[in-house]
Structure 1
């Protein structure tokens, strides 16, 4: 099988198991012989977990460590999920590992095990790659939840981190913040410290209680004084200070203010690792300077802004950015949303953009049948009439790149799958 054949086979596999559990992934871990001898930092949350993973990885790399990361979803290339020192697994390594894994999966099928899901396959491949490459540390991002997430099958954890929690994936994780916080808390382990960043007390109470039950030391991200020194469309220079840490000038290659909050989490997490992994203030500054996370408040070309915001809190941060920093431009929006329970709130917030001119809703593979009609109706119910359904997203992007004026901005939000498709369109020219 070629690399392309393998990718097609993997993406056609059901994403998750209907009855979640660790039976299949633990059987795969046993078959591949993974010994869990590499320390793990495990990150869960609703927003920001991927950014925290990659910031910490970048800092550790600046300090001279070899760092493996596992993140999801990918935007363009499935190999984005599996990296060593921010370099994607090669196509050759990906192909060889899958061929080996396929034999293990065939053997498990003969033993009566269910077929592995998409996520189990990718995670098992990551472990096989890490086992071969022997990084000093692995930093994992959960897929959706925590307690029942495939990544939670690992136990060699030295730190767990829970980023901001909000209502998302409620059909899987629960209808309340407490229920979701409980699921996210499931990544914790006895006597292993957990770092939490959240401003909602009911979430904090749930995580504190779960940590106390298993004697996991509980560390909240303490308040920082943050000051933006210089900002432009591509980057922010800022300072961070609290009673323990002081960073006079940090340069970050992102336009999103919310990434400063993620930097606070990453820095707190790093200081929790300082007994096992040595680093300096310069390593932190260099690591955050080198951090890049495509599709999160990214000006991909002049006049086109991509942001993977896909829940209420993410959309609020996006709209805040537009109204504060793009106040002299008219805004056109490409929007999709996969969550029927959040699309009402998200669209209400988007309709508050002060200079919103038009909204385009693509008829694409990742939108449920008739979903585009629901989205158009919701915009109109909020008093916004200039909503257009489009059959060819590529045609819109190509035309806008050609005709874009300096006082116009095309913003694409609501789904990381949408963001990935637009990146692919732009890369293909």
Structure 2
């Protein structure tokens, strides 16, 4: 038994040595031992390459505005580890985490002795989430975000009332497959029998994979791009505005406080989710609550402004599709500004292509590293860049000097981007 939170947290992080082990057999074992907590909650399950976190935030905010108490399970964390399990956006306490870990640790030791083998860090955290939410009183909904993929993701033992797939892109290809169709098949693995699925996937072949899977599962398949029209789009100084026409309603001049043209799509997906919950009799949500929910939604690390002098934003563009969205956002919001980028990435990401894209729009670019087993060394990133105005520092603290240099340029805008693990650590450091 652990007596303190830090000790328990150290044990959880110590499970990183077991790496990533796709599959849900160990999770099924946990669920059996815990008396099937996955059957005791009203869950919404979300997969996708990009946009999962923002979509979670939009749906949670809409439900909160409608008077519902909502749990969320997300990964990775940006501000604090505790936020991975939250209620109405508030992370659970250290004591609650300590209690959960002390319940799961003996089961972990028992599981390690079976032919299924040792559970990973993510599997243990997921088991803690199911246990917590199943015993949490007066909880109306729980939104589960997949960690990696879908079909073999630890969260896929959930029995949801609604499923969403945000986007399909090239990420984690060593695990999920090298083509969009293969990746789509993994994401579509979360589709359950007779449970509606809503998707923002736009690639024809990937969408067809999802359509076929939905048909096999007798699941209603709602495509954002077929069921909706998004128009009158414009960038605001601190968010986005757009109009949305669904098969049920016309919503004029919706606004979000999350920045980026892609947030219009994520918000629209959340609106469709709210409509489906209404139509299914699972919730009662009106237009005013949808509008307020979208406008009030917050999600750290997604084009989040953390400083004014100079303007500094952090954005978790951790794959090629994320970088492309970052470029679009910069064009919408910062045309004519001098863009300075600080970038760091994991070794298993296609960072060469990401850096090439960033080089083309950056006025100056700085590379750094951070504390994580798979973090790439700053010098390797630096040598990949073709920029004529580049620098690197092996320590995270090198960001401070880079920002001080940027202050000298009155037209500067600084963006810290790359790995979500990187921006989490950078955000914590800069806020101190």
Give the alignment's TM-score, normalised by structure 2. 0.91
**Aligned counterpart, 1:6:** 8
Aligned partner of 1:280 among 275, 278, 286: 286
* CA separation of 1:341 and 1:390: change in aligned 2, threshold 3 A: closer
Query: Whole-Å Cα distance in 2 between the matches of residues 150 and 368 of structure 1?
Result: 21
1:218-269 deviation line (CA, Å, top 9, x unaligned) = 111123233246711x233433234432222333212212111101111111
Query: Whole-Å Cα distance in 2 between the matches of residues 394 and 337 of structure 1?
Result: 16
**Aligned counterpart, 1:132:** 135
Instruction: State the shift of 1:113 in Å.
Output: 5.1
Query: Whole-Å Cα distance in 1 between the matches of residues 230 and 44 of structure 2?
Result: 26
Contact 1:193 1:216 in 2 (8 A): yes
Corresponding position: 1:314 with 2:322? yes
**Aligned counterpart, 2:214:** 211
Write the mapping of 1:172-321 to structure 2, written as runs, cut at 5 A.
172-221=175-224, 222-228=227-233, 231-232=236-237, 234-274=238-278, 275-302=281-308, 303-321=311-329
Instruction: State the shift of 1:136 in Å.
Output: 1.3
Write the mapping of 1:30-179 to structure 2, written as runs, cut at 5 A.
30-35=32-37, 36-109=39-112, 114-134=117-137, 135-154=139-158, 156-179=159-182
Corresponding position: 1:336 with 2:344? yes
1:350-398 deviation line (CA, Å, top 9, x unaligned) = 1221xx2321111323375864343223212xxx232222033224326
Instruction: State the shift of 1:181 in Å.
Output: 0.3
* CA separation of 1:201 and 1:228: change in aligned 2, threshold 3 A: closer
Which consecutive segments of 4 or more residues in structure 1 shift more than 6 A? none
Contact 2:49 2:166 in 1 (8 A): yes
Contact 1:32 1:104 in 2 (8 A): no
Query: Whole-Å Cα distance in 1 between the matches of residues 349 and 86 of structure 2?
Result: 34
Query: Whole-Å Cα distance in 1 between the matches of residues 405 and 212 of structure 2?
Result: 55
**Aligned counterpart, 2:417:** 413
1:294-313 deviation line (CA, Å, top 9, x unaligned) = 11111111111111011112
* CA separation of 1:66 and 1:352: change in aligned 2, threshold 3 A: same
RMSD: 2.2
Contact 1:230 1:237 in 2 (8 A): yes
Contact 1:336 1:367 in 2 (8 A): no
1:110-161 deviation line (CA, Å, top 9, x unaligned) = 566522210011111111211221411111110011000000012x211111
Give the alignment's TM-score, normalised by structure 1. 0.92
Instruction: State the shift of 1:421 in Å.
Output: 1.1
Contact 2:68 2:140 in 1 (8 A): yes
